[in-house]
Amino acid sequence: MKFNSAELLSIAQKPPIYFEKEGILKTCGKSRTKRKHQELTERWCRLKGNLLFLMKNRSSTSDPAEVIVLERCDIVECRDNRSTALTITFQSGEPGIYLEAVSKSDCGDWIAALREANSEGLQRRIAYLQRLTMEIKADTSPDGTHQILPLPEMPSPLISIGKIPFEPKLEFSLACKELVATARDRKPNSFVQITIINPAQQSLTRYTHTETVEGTRDPVFLTGATFPPGYPIYEETRVKLTVYDVKEKSQETRSFLGSATFAVGDLLKSEEQTLTITLSPLDGSSKVGTIVVSNLKMGENENEETDHTPGEVAREKSASFCGNLLHRTINDPGDFSLLDSVFKNIIWKVYRLPTTNGRWLCAREQMAESTLSFLIPKQMITLFIQEDMRRLQDLEELGELSAHWDTLRQNVTIHYQHMISSYQEMLTELNKFSGSSFKPSCSRGEKKLEFVPVNLHLQRMHIQSNSAQTDGIYDVVTIGAPAAHIRGFRNGGLRRQLYRFEGEKRNSAYQYIYYSPEDTTKAKEVITNIYKLQPLMLTNTDLLLTAARQHSSDNLKDSLKTLSEITEQFVHAFEDQLLRSALLALHKARPSYINKRHSNLIHNPDDTEKQCENSERRSSKDSIPHHAEYDEEDWDRVWVNVGKSLNCIIAMVDRLLEQSDTGQKCEIEPSPVDQIAASTSDDWYEGLYPLVVTLKDCVEEVIDRAKKAMVFVLLQDCGSNIPQALALHQRRDVVFSQALAGLVCGFVIKLHTCLHDQGFLLQLHTVGLLVQFEGLLSTYSEEIGMLEDMSVAIIDLQKVAFKVIEAQLEESASANLYPVVTGIRDFYTVEVQLPGKLFEVLPQEIKDGKLLRVHPVFFNIGINEQQTLAERFGDISLQEIINQENFKLLSKYYKSFQEKLSADCLPQFQTQIDIKELFQSLSQNIQARKRKNVEVLKVAASICRRLNGIRFTSCKSAKDRTSMSVTLEQCVILQEEHSLHPDYFVRALDCMRSSYAKGTMNGPDDPEADSDNRPTSSHFYPVALLLVSSHLLVVWLILSLALLLAKYQ
């Protein structure tokens, strides 16, 4: 470019009033593009017309060092909301210029000024003012005056697209014809950059781009552009399409071919909703080709002849299909705000794919963050705190204990208080947290986010074709492996640590009373029943008395029936030998018993030898003491009195109802109950009141004794090693909280998707919901600890049940319908709210509050380099055991389904493979000794989809391995169920795995340097090199061991 340096110097030194904008900007020096850890230089910058002057330093009086001509360039702002950076990119393909402002507001001012500085910005403003002038002339006020408003304050006259909410406003596909590369002897490797020009704001935003199609002059791009409901696009919005030729893909070098611009309204108003636009090159003279823009729309005639082959797609009419997406799987989305509450920041992708029959199908990907990532952990921490505080109160109410047991109680109390304090601090920090609605993998090491799952997202693929029979929705919840990363894996994960702790408890049985894990679980179950049934009994006794006071026969019968059922459950809950033995053990822990025993030993020293002999005969498994002086019948009397009290109430109610019907007295000699009924026939309330009080007293006495006995049993659980016991307690809380957040997310989307599927709803309340977790963790190094944590967390999900309730909202209310978790550690209920209109479509069993059980299964196959090391030099038995155990659980669920339901409840698929054959294939693959047998995961996923289950995919961070698995599964589904053309399988897979598509879909840029597919430590060397020589292998093992020891020390 020719220029007059003296004139430019004169312009640069003009007074400030001469410039449109000036101020300090940070630049990268001569390199222009920013590199990692590069220091920036502050310079005073002055903008005049289309010239940006960069002075030598930050002084406004310094000489200019560089001048930038702002023509044929784009001003791109950083997507990070906290960033103050912008980049000037040139259409010629020259390196961009990185600039950084001093503040966010200053950055916005610079972007607005720079975008208006070139001739294109001036032309846009002139065209806009001309159009505005024409509109004003055509539309004058009644008094003949023109309604002229200044541009910044003018309300937008643009017409919005997308009349139906929750549908994409616009979707289009792209294809090019007769492209000419810069080098005439080669065919271009082209892709299209899509940029949005907003006429109201006069802004330019880089939106998306297609995949790169190699070696053709007539590329048809599978990746299209989709604009979600909330995106500000209007009929007058202009879209700029820039076509580039990628010369060397590995180095990402590209050259500009041409560009074209069209208005959205022109596309929608065209006869076939297709535009063919000539591309404009840089010189404006040569011809480089055309670009075809086709609006994706519903409504292709199903009987239309389709003689075209996939190779002729560039010359045929575009006919792809839009439709219901994440928010449109029900009939009335306007009244349904559940998904709006649970899912945020939805990212949309659309693909136009050919089928084997010559037709086209539209595949949409949606990825959404879930607010449950933080909501559920907050609720769980609150429940943990409440339960532990109640545990402390139960320990205090245990009464007097001997010195040995009282010391144990005090130590446990101190550790529980520390745990409650740490939970309260963590809850406070979570309540303060503001930012994204998911936890990125780089935050695994943050203590305050320990209970939050890593990268919890919903991945949905919605398929629509010209035949409704082949449409489908496929959801996968992606989540980082539920694991306690903060607590480390030096001693393994939960599975191994729990096994070791159980062994320590057995070895310390001489000091404490040993209870098996089954006994401990039973004790927790008894306490759960106490907290669950006691309020119900009190409520129903009050209802019974209310019905008696009102002399309502129907209400009296209903209340008595409910009370009888609850009392029967209450009585059976305490019918266990563990309760009797625990009462005996608690009796022997009282100071009165110790003192009495001590006095007996003083008066009868000969009895010492006999007691020692008896203790030696007692085995370690039967370490619960038996005492002949303890009256075991006393507990039986108290327990049986509950049933007797209920029988008296039943007899009284029958007598009162009989007298009410007949109005006559019996002639036979009355029983005591009959005497009371006769004397109070005119007042039912006074007749029932003393009997109800007796029942309540009996219930209170049973609960008091049973709760103390079970609390004493749980006290022994920490006896051998209190710090370790409570550390395992906390670790289990952490991984369970992460797993539960993912489960609730999956249940909500599954219920929403299948709300009108009566077969699914019948299956849901009859046999429960299948939940299948797919793990991609290796059985080597730290990941084996993650696998152990994850397996225990998924087992604990069996303690969860769901309950659908009607949301109590006013007509105009738009409250967030968040799920609510209640219960204690051994049984949780998740209440999912539905608005009244949607609640009415549910079966009566679900509306009546029936608990909906879940059946989690977990299959894991390691696929990375670490798994190769584990298979060659390590141990993969844990993976094999987990897969075998969960195959039994899956088979048990299917057997229960066959016994209770028919196959008509299940969804129909195009692939004609019987479920029994899939089970047989899964069993064979699990038993096969094949390395990295991913067929296990593929078959398990197919079974889950066939059985209406929820799919989860996990790896260490739910990034690389997870995205590879999900995209492969999606393409397999497209081929098997929707007839994707085999020649386009790899291309479709590459589109879904492209750096832009999957990088954006998997969240913002992650500063974490290490990849999921790489070993986490730097001392892993290529296995092929190590196999060359046994000496190298020995050296590698020694170095690895030394580095591991240094790391853990």
DSSP states along 710-776: HHHHHHHTTSS-HHHHHHHHHHHHHHHHHHHHHHHHHHHHHHHHTTT-HHHHHHHHHT-EEEEEEE-
Q: How high is the pLDDT of residue 154? A: 31
User: For the CA atoms of 510, 511, 512, 518, what is the dihedral angle to 10 degrees?
Assistant: -40
Hey, how many other C-beta atoms are within 10 angstroms of the C-beta on 1023?
A: 14
Least confident range from 133-147, 239-253, 700-714: namely 133-147
Nearest to 183 by CA among 292, 288, 290, 89: 288
With helix as H, strand as E and coil as C, how does 1021-1040 read? CCHHHHCCCHHHHHHHHHHH
Q: How high is the pLDDT of residue 530? A: 85
More confident residue, 229 or 853: 853
Q: How high is the pLDDT of residue 246? A: 86
Mean pLDDT of 206-218: 91
| CA angle (205, 211, 212) in 5-degree steps | 115
Q: How high is the pLDDT of residue 599? A: 56
pLDDT in tens, 505-539: 777 655 677 888 888 888 888 888 888 888 888 88
314 has a pLDDT exceeding 80: no
Distant-in-sequence, close-in-space partners of 619: CB < 8 Å, separation ≥ 6: none
Confidence at 28, pLDDT banded by 50, 70, 90: confident
Confidence at 765, pLDDT banded by 50, 70, 90: very high
Exposed, middle or buried, 1013 (CB in 10 Å: 0-12/13-18/19+)? middle
Residue 548, both tokens: 């008696």
Q: How high is the pLDDT of residue 584? A: 85
- Catalytic (active-site) positions: 955
613 has a pLDDT exceeding 70: no
Q: How high is the pLDDT of residue 617? A: 41
Distances (CA, A) of 28 to 37, 58, 562, 694, 729: 11, 14, 77, 85, 52
Using DSSP bridges, classify how beta strands 360-370 and 457-465 pair: parallel, antiparallel or unpaired: antiparallel
| CA angle (69, 74, 75) in 5-degree steps | 95
Q: How high is the pLDDT of residue 222? A: 94
150 has a pLDDT exceeding 70: no
The C-alpha atoms of residue 194 and residue 238 are separated, in whole angstroms, by 11
618 has a pLDDT exceeding 50: no
Distances (CA, A) of 110 to 95, 107, 254, 706: 20, 5, 28, 73
More confident residue, 821 or 594: 821
More confident residue, 413 or 661: 413
Across the chain, how many H-helices and E-strands are there? 30, 25
Least confident range from 85-99, 730-744, 839-853: namely 85-99
Alpha helices in 797-951 (DSSP H): 836-839, 844-847, 865-873, 877-900, 915-927, 935-946
Confidence at 1044, pLDDT banded by 50, 70, 90: low
The C-alpha atoms of residue 3 and residue 5 are separated, in whole angstroms, by 6
Write the DSSP symbol of residue 40: P
The C-alpha atoms of residue 423 and residue 418 are separated, in whole angstroms, by 9
3-state helix, strand, coil in the chain (%, to 5): 50, 20, 35
Mean pLDDT of 407-422: 91
Nearest to 53 by CA among 72, 66, 40, 71: 66
344: enclosing H helix or E strand: strand 343-354
The C-alpha atoms of residue 385 and residue 481 are separated, in whole angstroms, by 25
113 has a pLDDT exceeding 50: yes
Q: How high is the pLDDT of residue 91? A: 81
713 has a pLDDT exceeding 70: yes
226: enclosing H helix or E strand: strand 225-227
The C-alpha atoms of residue 87 and residue 375 are separated, in whole angstroms, by 37
pLDDT in tens, 633-659: 677 777 788 888 888 888 888 888 887
The C-alpha atoms of residue 793 and residue 797 are separated, in whole angstroms, by 7
Using DSSP bridges, classify how beta strands 820-824 and 827-834 pair: parallel, antiparallel or unpaired: antiparallel
Q: How high is the pLDDT of residue 567? A: 86
Mean pLDDT of 22-34: 76
Q: How high is the pLDDT of residue 736? A: 96
624 has a pLDDT exceeding 60: no
Mean pLDDT of 870-881: 89
Hey, how many other C-beta atoms are within 10 angstroms of the C-beta on 256?
A: 20
pTM over cut 0.95:
no
Which sign, positive or negative, has the C-alpha torsion 1011, 1015, 1018, 1024? negative
Exposed, middle or buried, 548 (CB in 10 Å: 0-12/13-18/19+)? buried
Residue type, 304: E
Q: How high is the pLDDT of residue 904? A: 85
Using DSSP bridges, classify how beta strands 343-354 and 360-370 pair: parallel, antiparallel or unpaired: antiparallel
115: enclosing H helix or E strand: helix 104-115
Confidence at 375, pLDDT banded by 50, 70, 90: very high
Per the CB < 8 A criterion, the answer to whether 746 and 952 are in contact is: yes
Confidence at 1037, pLDDT banded by 50, 70, 90: low
More confident residue, 1033 or 243: 243
Which sign, positive or negative, has the C-alpha torsion 862, 867, 868, 874? negative
Hey, how many other C-beta atoms are within 10 angstroms of the C-beta on 819?
A: 21
597 has a pLDDT exceeding 60: no
Least confident range from 148-157, 236-245, 656-665: namely 148-157
Q: Which residue has the tokens 């489960």?
A: 743
236 has a pLDDT exceeding 60: yes
145 has a pLDDT exceeding 50: no
Q: What is the mean pLDDT of the chain?
A: 79
The C-alpha atoms of residue 730 and residue 414 are separated, in whole angstroms, by 15
Confidence at 622, pLDDT banded by 50, 70, 90: very low
The C-alpha atoms of residue 658 and residue 678 are separated, in whole angstroms, by 11
790 has a pLDDT exceeding 50: yes
pLDDT in tens, 419-450: 999 999 999 999 988 777 888 988 888 899 99
**Percent of all residues in the chain with a pLDDT value above 90, rounded to a whole number:** 31
Q: CA 101: distance to chain centroid?
A: 36
Q: How high is the pLDDT of residue 925? A: 94
| CA angle (542, 544, 547) in 5-degree steps | 110
Per the CB < 8 A criterion, the answer to whether 849 and 803 are in contact is: yes
Q: How high is the pLDDT of residue 153? A: 33
Q: How high is the pLDDT of residue 893? A: 96
Mean pLDDT of 692-713: 88
Q: How high is the pLDDT of residue 287? A: 82
pLDDT in tens, 169-187: 889 999 999 998 766 667 8
Which contacts qualify for 425-433: CB closer than 8 Å, 24 or more apart? 426/381, 426/450, 426/451, 427/378, 427/381, 427/382, 427/385, 430/374, 430/377, 430/378, 430/381, 431/378, 433/374
The C-alpha atoms of residue 377 and residue 482 are separated, in whole angstroms, by 12
816 has a pLDDT exceeding 50: yes
Least confident range from 298-302, 410-414, 499-503, 891-895: namely 298-302
Confidence at 589, pLDDT banded by 50, 70, 90: confident
Confidence at 251, pLDDT banded by 50, 70, 90: low
